[in-house]
Amino acid sequence: MEITTKGPLKKPIEITIDGKIYHVRRISRPVAIEISAYEKEMRGGNLEAVYKQLALYIDAPQETIDAIDITDLRAIQKYITDRVYERITGTEPDATPEEKTKAAAELEEKNLPKPGETPSVG
């Protein structure tokens, strides 16, 4: 297997806003840490953090992101998170039957939540 640190191996996840297609950016460890920090701010009531976090996810201009209704922002973030989760777990729609079977077994074995489910603790 050969990888590159310049971008993902798969086609980027796409988001269409006002008829224009934007792509989910490459999420490296430093970006993931920054995304997590904004998540903590959002839980603390900082709604501006929702906009800042989405700017890390997609390649849309800031003025486009700023114009999105906050409830749509959360829906976009959930969509992105679910697609990333599918890629990490091999459960994405274009995965081969073998990849899906293997991913399902691994999820069951690790007791990981499926996209949209709340993780259980304990």
| C-alpha span between 31 and 23 (Å, rounded) | 15
Q: Name the more confident of 47 and 8.
A: 47
Report yes or no on 65 lying in a domain: yes
What confidence score (pLDDT) does residue 122 get?
41
Burial of 13: CB neighbours in 10 Å, binned 0-12, 13-18, 19+? buried
Strands 20-23, 14-17: pairing kind: antiparallel
Report yes or no on 99 lying in a domain: yes
Whole-Å CA distances, 59 to 20, 54, 90: 11, 9, 25
What confidence score (pLDDT) does residue 2 get?
64
Taking phi first (over 0 means left), then psi (-120 to 50 degrees means alpha), and beta for anything else, what does residue 23 get? beta
**Interval 8-33 mean pLDDT:** 86
Report yes or no on 67 lying in a domain: yes
Instruction: Outline where DSSP puts E strands in 20-119.
Output: 20-23
Report yes or no on 6 lying in a domain: no
Report yes or no on 30 lying in a domain: yes
* pLDDT tens digits for range 46-65: 989 999 999 999 999 999 99
**Structure tokens belonging to residue 80:** 């992105």
Expressed as residue numbers, the domain containing 47 is 14-110
**Structure tokens belonging to residue 108:** 């069951």
Domains: count for the chain? 1
Please measure the distance between the N-terminal and C-terminal CA atoms of the chain and give it in whole angstroms: 36
* pLDDT tens digits for range 89-120: 777 777 777 777 776 776 666 665 555 554 44
